[in-house]
Amino acid sequence: MSRTPSADALAVFHALPVTVDVVALTVRDGVLCVLLIRRLLPPFEGRLALPGGFMMRGEGLGDAARRELTEETGVDPVPGHLEQLASYGPGGRDPRGDVLTVAHLVMAPDFPVIAAGGDAAEAAWHPVSTVQGALAFDHDLILADGVERARAKLEYSPLAAAFCGSEFTIAQIRGVYEAVWGVRLDPRNFHRKATGAVGFLEETGQVSSGDAGRPAALYRLAPQSRQGDGPTTAAVLNPPIMRPASSPAS
Amino acid sequence: MSRTPSADALAVFHALPVTVDVVALTVRDGVLCVLLIRRLLPPFEGRLALPGGFMMRGEGLGDAARRELTEETGVDPVPGHLEQLASYGPGGRDPRGDVLTVAHLVMAPDFPVIAAGGDAAEAAWHPVSTVQGALAFDHDLILADGVERARAKLEYSPLAAAFCGSEFTIAQIRGVYEAVWGVRLDPRNFHRKATGAVGFLEETGQVSSGDAGRPAALYRLAPQSRQGDGPTTAAVLNPPIMRPASSPAS
DNA sequence: CCAAAAGTGTTCAAAGTACACCCATGA
DNA sequence: TCATGGGTGTACTTTGAACACTTTTGG
């Protein structure tokens, strides 16, 4: 297939419609939830789907993902907490024809969904376990990949704090790990690991109020100094907080 | 931005030229190398670049990556050893205009490059350390991301065997880890870890011939039974072979 | 005082590291 | 028999899991 670009025109090449989709995850009442919209228009009219839509001219991938998320759900992700997940397509995923989609992943605290707009109605958080298999397009696959990525990232990055507010207790952040991984962790050993990881938590001096039992110290995420030697290296948790080895296939 | 798709036509949306690029890595004489072509045509005429090119109609992402790699370098990757890396763009990476590229990663044994074709001349392996900063487009960034992904994957996947031929000694696969990570590993402890990991290596019964010293047993990669519970879960090395903790920032 | 949750100390088992040592070959 | 690299055994150190125990609150 010899292709001979006659000049500096790219128009001779096959061009594709490109969308961005967003897997926005949070933890509500100890349950891992994903932000979904209900589609107003065909295809898959009335079905649940990830927020997303077509890219606009002159936009970057991350910009488009942030714009679609805000347009359709009212959620405005904290900068730095949106990362690229993977690309899907272009064939076999939209009945209208070939569409390439670049999926993104956002971890957000459980703030209320402000609005639904654009092609979307009913933007809302749904427990991940209740929507698997029910989504439009290939969004079930994308959601599964996003959840797996989030699970893996908890181990070696300070990402879990993104699910909490700006100040949180050790028990709250432990609840994030338990919800995302679907396991129970020993509160006492977790406390040691979390407070022992360098560059993860920073004491505020405050204590939590209200609940039964002894008040817990409040922490915030420590200022993230990028480690490693590459420009693409993200902040790293050291030592990592590993998920328990799942028992061999039963 | 209300977009109202009038029917089942996608043509109303902004479409982008989409390319695939391939980071093909191997180990030659203990050095991590990447497969590069020299560009025959502008832009970046005469510069080194990753093999890649525009997608064709009806093609999947992986298909396109495999086709471009074969067209431009003669290398035909083993199925299952090509994975998606990330997407880049569309802005600011091609002087001709917006182009979205989906980068892929291939680990290959050090077989000879058969041919150069298409837009490429001089397809050849280059040590990664000598080409950083010299590549066309944003390929320096893509290469750095690919190398980092390969380094991380060695830890928890049987991927290192992809760099070797179908049969190899423990010392050879140890050389892969040492070259990719840029460290020295204790041969005796590595031997135990590698042979102790379940589902990684399988003895052939043969021994290597020729070199000085005691002949080494030959192994092959064990048949990969997919573990985990998801369709997207790849084979996992258990226990993982971790890279030594790099000394804290000096 | 009692219940409940936070936080600390201690013990034991598992895993990783360093390295002594033996094995099998070529020169 | 010596040099060279393959492979095993073993002691030491570090890490992680389990859990008893103390602290600090509300009822």
Structure confidence at residue B248 (pLDDT): 45
C-alpha B33, offset from chain centre: 10
Do residue B16 and residue A55 have CB atoms under 8 angstroms apart?
Answer: yes
Structure confidence at residue A225 (pLDDT): 63
pTM for this model (two decimals): 0.90
List of chain A residues whose C-beta atoms are within 8 Å of the C-beta of residue B245: 238
Q: How many CB atoms lie within 10 A of CB B137?
A: 24
DSSP A194: H
Strand residue runs (E) in chain B: 15-28, 31-39, 48-49, 52-54, 82-88, 100-107, 120-127, 201-207, 217-221
User: What is the C-alpha separation between A4 and B118, in angstroms, rounded?
Assistant: 9
Q: Per-residue pLDDT for B146 more than 50?
A: yes
Distance from CA of B54 to the nearest CA of A (A): 7
Q: Please give the average per-residue pLDDT across A126-150, as a whole number.
A: 96
Cis bond leading into A223, ω under 30°?
A: no
Q: How many CB atoms lie within 10 A of CB A206?
A: 14
| Lookup: tokens for A196 | 């022992």
Which of A69-78, A101-110, A144-153 has the weakest average pLDDT? A69-78
Q: How far is the CA of B236 from the C1' of C26 (A)?
A: 39
DSSP A249: P
Confidence of residue B250 (pLDDT cuts 50, 70, 90): very low
Q: Per-residue pLDDT for B198 more than 60?
A: yes
Cα distances from A110 to residues A165, A249, B217, in angstroms, run 8, 34, 56
Of all nucleotides in the shown strands, which has a C1' nearest the CA of A211?
A: D26
Q: Please give the average per-residue pLDDT across A200-226, as a whole number.
A: 85
List of chain B residues whose C-beta atoms are within 8 Å of the C-beta of residue A149: none
Q: Per-residue pLDDT for A59 more than 70?
A: yes
Q: Which is more confident, B200 or B6?
A: B200
User: What is the C-alpha separation between A127 and A146, in angstroms, rounded?
Assistant: 14
Using only the alpha carbons of chain B, give its radius of gyration.
20
Q: What are phi and psi of B243, to 5 degrees?
A: -75, 150
Residue of A nearest to B102 (CA): A87
Structure confidence at residue A233 (pLDDT): 43
Q: Which is more confident, A118 or B213?
A: B213
User: What is the C-alpha separation between A21 and A85, in angstroms, rounded?
Assistant: 10
Q: Which nucleotides of C are covered by protein (CB under 7 A)?
A: 3-9, 15-20, 23-27
| CB half-sphere exposure, A111, CA atoms < 13 A | 15
Confidence of residue A62 (pLDDT cuts 50, 70, 90): very high
Q: Nearest residue to nucleotide D7 when comparing alpha carbons to its C1'?
A: B188
Structure confidence at residue A8 (pLDDT): 46
Map tokens 């502008």 to a residue: B42
- Which residues are bridge partners to A52 per DSSP? A21
- Asked if the Cβ of residue B57 lies within 7 A of any atom of strand C, the reply is no
Do the Cβ atoms of B73 and B91 come closer than 8 Å?
no
Q: How far is the CA of B238 from the C1' of C14 (A)?
A: 15
Q: How far is the CA of A184 from the C1' of C12 (A)?
A: 22
Amino acid identity for residue B53 in this structure: G
Confidence of residue A100 (pLDDT cuts 50, 70, 90): very high
| Lookup: tokens for B82 | 């090509």
| Lookup: tokens for B36 | 């590069």
State chain A's mean pLDDT as an integer: 87
Distance from CA of B87 to the nearest CA of A (A): 7
| Nearest of B32, B215, B226 to residue B132 by alpha carbon | B32
Q: Spelled out in words, what is the top-level CATH class assigned to the domain B7-138?
A: alpha beta
Most confidently modeled of A32-41, A192-201, B69-78, B138-147?
A: B138-147
- Asked if the Cβ of residue A218 lies within 7 A of any atom of strand C, the reply is no
A162 burial (CB, 10 Å; 0-12 / 13-18 / 19+) is buried
C-alpha A120, offset from chain centre: 19
User: What is the C-alpha separation between B204 and B226, in angstroms, rounded?
Assistant: 22
Structure confidence at residue A235 (pLDDT): 78
Structure confidence at residue B246 (pLDDT): 67
For residue B3, give the nearest of A54, A148, A227 by CB distance: A54
Q: Spelled out in words, what is the top-level CATH class assigned to the domain B154-231?
A: mainly alpha
Which of A166-180, A208-222, A232-246, B182-196 has the weakest average pLDDT? A232-246
User: What is the C-alpha separation between A208 and B214, in angstroms, rounded?
Assistant: 65
Do residue A3 and residue B54 have CB atoms under 8 angstroms apart?
Answer: yes
Confidence of residue B10 (pLDDT cuts 50, 70, 90): low
User: What is the C-alpha separation between A24 and A143, in angstroms, rounded?
Assistant: 9
Confidence of residue B175 (pLDDT cuts 50, 70, 90): very high
Sheet order of strands, A217-221 included: A168-169, A217-221, A201-207
Q: Per-residue pLDDT for A208 more than 90?
A: no
| Lookup: tokens for B125 | 């392996």
Structure confidence at residue B225 (pLDDT): 62
DSSP A162: G
Structure confidence at residue A7 (pLDDT): 38
Q: Start-end ranges of CATH 3.90.79.10 in chain B?
A: 7-138
State chain B's mean pLDDT as an integer: 86
Confidence of residue A232 (pLDDT cuts 50, 70, 90): very low
For residue B91, give the nearest of A58, A96, A245 by CB distance: A58
Which of A52-56, A192-196, A236-240, B9-13 has the weakest average pLDDT? B9-13
Map tokens 């993977």 to a residue: A86
Structure confidence at residue B8 (pLDDT): 46
Cα distances from B34 to residues B25, B116, B132, B137, B180, in angstroms, run 5, 15, 11, 16, 11
Q: How far is the CA of A176 from the C1' of D14 (A)?
A: 28
Cβ-Cβ contacts under 8 Å between A and B: the total is 136
Cis bond leading into A90, ω under 30°?
A: yes
Q: Per-residue pLDDT for B43 more than 70?
A: yes
